[in-house]
Amino acid sequence: MKKKRQPYEKKAFESTGSSSDTSANIYESMLLSDAWLALTAPCKALYLVCKSQYYSEKNHPNNNPTQFYMNEAKWLSKYKLYKVGNEKGFYRDMEKLIAGGFISCFECGAATRTRSVYQLSDKWVLYGKPDFKISQEEKTVAMAGWRKGKQIKSVAYG
């Protein structure tokens, strides 16, 4: 007969102890990776918030738990990651997470004025290796160099 597995007991330094509290697990292999070390502090904070969506959101886009929305209400009001008027900061940091292989843009809503759908990615493991490549389909409209039908200057990341 199998023993029932004891639920994880949150430590006082991890949580307020609320039963609805969720975590965003980050393993040391990621923390020590070249891709993670290349990120800025705001990018790392944004990733932690994105990762928390995996555990905390009940309704995921396309019923895929690795997909999430990250809209202005979340990054501005709820998590206070960026200040009013610093939308470019959010997009710059999200593009760095995509370029580092942590996130992919599943559906870019820029052209249709809808919410973008992002997805957690494991490509960061290949960062800096010859096999590492981010396809055009995984990039935002701005990263791909196209907006409103015109090609724009793209910023290099990596």
Higher pLDDT, 155 or 5: 5
Higher pLDDT, 3 or 155: 3
Q: The whole model's pTM is what?
A: 0.81
In tens, the pLDDT along 94-138 reads 999 999 999 999 988 877 888 889 999 999 999 999 999 988 888
In this prediction, residue 103 carries a pLDDT of 95
- Residue 84 to residue 76: CA distance in whole angstroms: 7
- Mean of the pLDDT values across residues 55-81? 85
In this prediction, residue 25 carries a pLDDT of 87
